[in-house]
Amino acid sequence: SLQVTPARCDYAVQQIIQKICARVMDILEFKTIGRIDGILTPEGEIFIIDPNSFSGAGPASFLFKQGIQRHMNHTQLIN
Q: Closest Cα partner for 3 from 44, 42, 35, 46? A: 35
CA distance linking residue 35 with residue 42, whole number of Å: 22
Residue 1 has pLDDT above 70, yes or no: no
C-alpha to C-alpha distance for 71 and 66, rounded to whole angstroms: 9
Q: List pLDDT tens digits, range 25-69.
A: 999 998 877 888 889 998 999 999 989 886 556 667 777 787 888
Query: What confidence tens digit (pLDDT) does each residue in 11-23 have?
Result: 999 999 999 999 9
